Amino acid sequence: MTETELKALGVVRDADLKPLTTFAVPAEAKFYAEVKSLDELRRLLSHPELSCEQRLVLGGGSNILFTKDFEGLVIGMRIDFLEELGETEQSRTIRVGAGRSWGQLVDELIERGWSGLENLALVPGTVGGAAVQNIGAYGLEVAERIVKVECLDARTLEPRVFDVSECDYGYRSSIFKSDQYADLIVLSVVFELPKTFEPRIAYKELAAFFDGKMPQMPAEVAEAVKSIRRKKLPDPAVIPNAGSFFKNPVVTRIKQRHLLEDMPQLVSYPLAGGRAKLAAGWLIEAVGMKGRRVGDAAVYERQALVLVNYGNATGEQIMALAAEVASKVRLRFGVKLEPEPVII
């Protein structure tokens, strides 16, 4: 491809990815381009050479770790809009561009006094990323509010719309994360928001925050969530990180019972289907890894589930620390920890 061609498409060669991800580790993309509209995206993907490259879509870059350069095309998703589609007596329906900042969306809805997403205040990333990985926090998973996910098939350049029931949403998972659907690029998400404010404050720390008082407005819940998050989770703009580095492992109830016999203090939650979720942060703390630092890669001292980069850590160094954490937990508890962010 000639430099003129690249320029006309807004493509940068050997682009620095460090400022585009919240882990801020060094990495480059062979090609990088930002798209603000469906037309721009189609133009990019219909270029004969670029269409053959491996592809990666970056939203807020807040759930990804590069351990090497990306030998292909990285697309910065910047399709950003918010429109109201209609309302009934019970709910409002909105459609939001995949590139809109998630935190901004929640704040905007709160300003309007609209409820439904307040428990997910201050989650980093974009609307597209939220729909791909089914973000969840403080008692709410975003899939509960999603009606449809609108995509472009990067191979055929045809639109595809998925009803929420087709997205196979689970704990931090969806079809959009699976290899089978790797050609789909999320363009926008349709949400249905309940008009009646039903505060969801059963999560232990939220319940403690409100201490028996019922919040009257979604803004109160959002403020509570923000203050809890700020106390425990490092601000990626100050200490680079990608939120929880591991998923909370899901085990059988039998395994949970065995672990509890040994360690009654273990934090765990029963799930449907004879399964249980264990608090990975607790397990990591129990093996003495909370606060462990190797060079600039560290286990955050206030939340052991979060790995941080104190400046010059590489993706490989973060992965080496993660492997040490996982191996200690496996040896001691026989529980496998799996990374939550996408590892490249």
The residues assigned a catalytic role are: 172, 244, 340
Among residues 31 and 102, whose Cβ is nearest to ligand EPU? 102
CA distances from 325 to 252, 296, 306, 340 (A): 22, 16, 11, 14
Binder to ligand EPU among 126, 174, 244, 268 (CB under 6 A)? 244
Interaction residues for ligand EPU, span 127-156 (CB under 6 A): 137-138
- Of the candidate spans 73-81, 206-214, 242-250, 313-321, the one that interacts with ligand EPU by CB under 6 A turns out to be 242-250
Distance CA 207, CA 201 (A): 5
Residue environment code for 221-244, b if the CB has 16+ CB neighbours within 10 A, otherwise e:
bbbbbbebbeeebbebeebbbbbb
DSSP assigned state of 97: E
Distance CA 227, CA 240 (A): 19
Among residues 31 and 246, whose Cβ is nearest to ligand EPU? 246
To the nearest whole angstrom, how small is the minimum distance from the Cβ of residue 238 to ligand EPU? 16
Distance CA 187, CA 81 (A): 10
Among residues 285 and 296, whose Cβ is nearest to ligand EPU? 285
- Of the candidate spans 46-54, 83-91, 180-188, 240-248, the one that interacts with ligand EPU by CB under 6 A turns out to be 240-248
Q: Which helix (H) or strand (E) holds 110?
A: helix 102-111
To the nearest whole angstrom, how small is the minimum distance from the Cβ of residue 171 to ligand EPU? 7
Interaction residues for ligand EPU, span 281-310 (CB under 6 A): 281-282, 285, 290, 303-305
The reply to whether 263 sits near ligand EPU by the rule CB under 6 A is no
Contact 308, 243 (CB under 8 A): no
Residue 72 contacts by C-beta under 8 Å, 6 or more apart in sequence?
Answer: 29, 30, 31, 53, 54, 55, 56
To the nearest whole angstrom, how small is the minimum distance from the Cβ of residue 329 to ligand EPU? 12
Distance CA 324, CA 132 (A): 28
Interaction residues for ligand EPU, span 206-235 (CB under 6 A): 232-233
The contact set with ligand EPU (CB under 6 A) reads: 137-138, 232-233, 243-244, 247-248, 267, 279, 281-282, 285, 290, 303-305, 340
